[in-house]
Every structure is written in C-alpha cells, then in structure tokens.
C-alpha cells in the first residue's frame, strides 16, 4: 500500500515520448463455483496454482498521467529491484486503481509503476523511471507494484501468480539477480529497513490467505527461472521456450521500435500452422523500448517476440537500448 504522504521530493519534469503498450493476452477464466473467502483458506496457494495449471496473463502497458520523469539513483533504466505492495482497497480492480491514481496523484503525492489483479497486469509508468510508492530511499532504487485485494481463493491465486510473474519479468528485463529481501522486498521490509514509511503491506493481506512473503518468493523464483531459461541459448533442453523449435532464444535484447509510416507499430500472432495473423486491438507505441527473447521467421520476414504470443516485424526495429 502506498502512503498518502509525499513519498519523495518533486523532481524536474521533462517531456518524453509515450511509452509502448500491449493489451492482455489469454486469460484463464476464474472458477465461478469457487466462493471460498480469505478467512476459510487453509490450503497452499502455490500448490493450488500448480494443480490448476494457472498461468500469468501478459503485461499491459498503458500510459499513465504521472509526469515526473526522474531516473533511479544509478541512472535512467537502472532499478535495483521490485517492491511488493497491496492496495488495501477490497474489490477494486487494477484498472479501477489506475484510474484513481492517474486522476489523483497530484493531490495524494503517490504513484506506482503497476497494478495487478486476478485478470490483469497493468503497467502505467515506464519502469526506466522512478515513482512515489515506498519512501525516498526505496523509490530511488525500486520498481513499485501494487496487488489488488480480491475475495476468492481462485482470484487470490491468480493475482499473486500475476504479481510474481510481473516481478520476475522486471528482474529479467533489467538483468537483475533474484535475491529475496534484496532485489525483491515487501513494503513492510522497506519500512523496517529505512524507516521512511510505516506500512506493513502486503504481509497482513497475505496472512488472510495463509500466505507469506517466503511463499511469494518461491513463486517469483519459479517464473524467474522460466524466463531466464527462455533467454538462454538452445543448449538447454529443459528451458521453457514456446517457439515450437524455430525461435532463437539467443537473440534476447532490448529493442527500440518505430513505424515511420504510421502512428503505431503493428503486432502479429503466430498461429498453430506457423502462419501469422495481424493483431487488430494491440500495438506498440512509436519509439518505445521492448525486451525481446525470441525470433521467428515467416515468408522471409523476421519477427521478434515482445509478449507471450505478440511479435513485431524486425523491419520496425530501429536499434537496441
């Protein structure tokens, strides 16, 4: 949970181009019959995630209104890890929270990089830059992500899977190690270490579900290893590439994309027969930076993966970071 007090000193605003965006990929439907409340949970959430084959959704990048563009203490694009929060607003979705913060951040002096619920991972601030979520010291070091409060076991499992995946993906994106309590911290741990806030989230909310930060770390580790495996060269036969054998995982990098003939960069999805289909409701912003880990070819064209099954024509790639 972010504080309603000023989290950092105000930095000089600079005008930058809009960040890129994708929309949510396939979402496994929640189980309508599951009405178990938090207080009744006794089973392991991580075991539930595995037993029900719950998969995280893809990340949606949606440009927010936070106009403070300040680099981390080590520079722009150099976070040192991720701080885990929860919203303390039962029933509010990621989009609800994003709408509120986009409208009110100038009044509440608070903003974070992303909100996560059981259906969506919504990134609203370019993670190359800081936000106001956990106190001046932590803000200068960490990406801030908020978990939305839900009311069923299934929704909680899906939401923490999404938050763990987002956390792991950011560690991989910025080439950071996964070190529990160091590169991934709760707001509670941040408060105890730097004494600049008094928040204890998400510890109390996790406890309602019989969950803990240690269990969350296990889940982050699972996704981190999967993502790191998918960016290793083909010598590892146990990695989690989803390129059906014709991708090149050794091509992991950060790429900048731009469409000189249009207002956005189009995306395609690969079909089961290996062909490509244009994606009509998702695109990337011009001059935006993306992490890519695989390459495929179709009809003589190369495509680079920027999300689970969202690919950009290599002709739109203008360079690396």
Which one of 203, 230, 257 terminates a domain?
Answer: 230
Q: Are residues 64 and 202 in the same domain?
A: yes
Q: Is residue 283 part of a domain?
A: yes
Q: Are residues 223 and 255 in the same domain?
A: no
Q: What's the pTM? A: 0.63
Q: What count of residues does the chain have?
A: 321
Q: What is the pLDDT of residue 254?
A: 75
One DSSP character per residue, 2-29 reads: --SS--SPPPPP---PPPP-------PP
Residues 291, 228 contacting (CB under 8 angstroms): no
Q: Is residue 24 part of a domain?
A: no
Q: What is the pLDDT of residue 134?
A: 96
Which one of 230, 264, 280 terminates a domain?
Answer: 230
Residues 264, 249 contacting (CB under 8 angstroms): no
Joined tokens for residue 247: 């991708």
Q: Are residues 154 and 277 in the same domain?
A: no
Domain of 272 in residue numbering reads as 249-320
b (16+ CB within 10 A) / e for 259-278: beeeebbebbbbeeeeebee
Q: Is residue 19 part of a domain?
A: no
Residues 145, 114 contacting (CB under 8 angstroms): yes
Q: What is the pLDDT of residue 29?
A: 24
Q: Are residues 143 and 290 in the same domain?
A: no
Estimate to the nearest angstrom the gap between the alpha carbon of 45 and the chain centroid. 20
Q: Are residues 54 and 115 in the same domain?
A: yes
Q: Are residues 260 and 169 in the same domain?
A: no
Total count of domains within the chain:
2
One DSSP character per residue, 118-170 reads: SS-EEE-S-TTS--BSS-HHHHTTEEEEEEPP-SSHHHHHHHHHHHHHHHHHH
Residue 106 and residue 63: Cα distance in Å, rounded?
Answer: 16
CATH of the domain at 106: 3.40.80.10
Q: Are residues 53 and 186 in the same domain?
A: yes
Q: Are residues 68 and 164 in the same domain?
A: yes
pLDDT digit string (tens) for the chain, length 321 residues? 654 333 332 222 222 222 232 332 222 222 223 333 333 333 489 999 999 999 999 999 998 999 999 999 999 999 999 999 999 999 999 999 999 999 999 999 999 999 999 999 999 999 999 999 999 999 999 999 999 999 999 999 999 999 999 999 999 999 999 999 999 999 999 999 999 999 999 999 999 999 999 999 999 999 999 998 765 433 333 322 233 333 333 345 678 889 998 888 899 999 988 899 998 877 887 887 777 878 999 999 999 988 778 899 999 998 765
Q: Are residues 121 and 262 in the same domain?
A: no
Burial of 88 (0-12, 13-18, 19+ CB in 10 A): middle
Q: Is residue 90 part of a domain?
A: yes
Residue 310 pairs in a beta bridge with 307
Which helix (H) or strand (E) covers residue 81, if one does?
A: strand 81-86
Q: What is the pLDDT of residues 47-82, one digit of tens each?
A: 999 999 999 999 999 989 999 999 999 999 999 999
Which one of 230, 258, 289 terminates a domain?
Answer: 230
Q: Are residues 254 and 225 in the same domain?
A: no
Q: Are residues 215 and 255 in the same domain?
A: no
Q: Are residues 57 and 159 in the same domain?
A: yes
Residue 69 and residue 16: Cα distance in Å, rounded?
Answer: 8
Q: Which residue has the tokens 């079909």?
A: 271
Residues 124, 105 contacting (CB under 8 angstroms): no
Q: Which residues contact 83 (CB under 8 A, 6 or more apart)?
A: 133, 134, 138, 142, 143, 144, 145, 185, 186, 187, 190
Q: Is residue 6 part of a domain?
A: no
Q: Is residue 114 part of a domain?
A: yes
Q: Is residue 207 part of a domain?
A: yes
Q: Is residue 294 part of a domain?
A: yes
Q: What is the pLDDT of residue 293?
A: 77
């Amino acid at each position: 949970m972010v504080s309603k007090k000023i989290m950092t000193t105000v930095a000089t605003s600079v005008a930058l181009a809009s960040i890129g965006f994708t929309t949510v990929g396939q979402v496994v439907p929640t189980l309508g019959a599951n009405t178990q409340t938090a207080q009744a949970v006794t089973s392991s959430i991580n075991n539930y995630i595995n037993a029900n084959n719950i998969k995280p959704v893809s990340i949606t990048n949606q440009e927010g209104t936070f106009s403070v563009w300040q680099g981390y203490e080590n520079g722009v694009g150099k976070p040192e890890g991720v701080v885990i929060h929860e919203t303390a607003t039962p029933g509010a979705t990621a989009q609800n929270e994003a709408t509120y913060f986009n409208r009110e951040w100038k009044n509440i002096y608070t903003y974070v990089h992303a909100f996560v619920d059981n259906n969506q991972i919504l990134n609203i601030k370019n993670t190359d830059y800081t936000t106001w979520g956990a106190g001046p010291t932590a803000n200068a070091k960490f990406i801030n992500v908020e978990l939305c409060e839900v009311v069923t076991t299934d929704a909680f499992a899906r939401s923490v899977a999404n938050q763990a995946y987002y956390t792991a993906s950011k560690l991989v994106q910025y080439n950071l190690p996964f070190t529990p309590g160091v590169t991934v911290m709760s707001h509670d741990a941040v408060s105890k270490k730097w004494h600049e806030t008094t928040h204890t989230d998400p510890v109390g909310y996790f406890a309602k579900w019989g969950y803990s930060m240690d269990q969350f770390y296990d889940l982050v580790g699972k996704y981190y290893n999967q993502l790191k495996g998918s960016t290793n060269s083909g010598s590892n036969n146990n990695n989690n590439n989803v390129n059906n054998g014709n991708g090149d995982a050794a091509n992991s990098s950060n790429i900048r994309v731009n469409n000189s003939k249009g207002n956005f960069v189009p995306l395609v999805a690969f079909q089961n027969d290996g062909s490509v289909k244009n994606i009509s409701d998702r695109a990337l912003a011009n001059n935006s930076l993306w992490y890519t880990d695989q390459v495929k070819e179709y009809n003589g064209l190369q495509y680079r993966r920027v999300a689970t099954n969202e690919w950009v024509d290599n002709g739109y790639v203008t360079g690396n970071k």
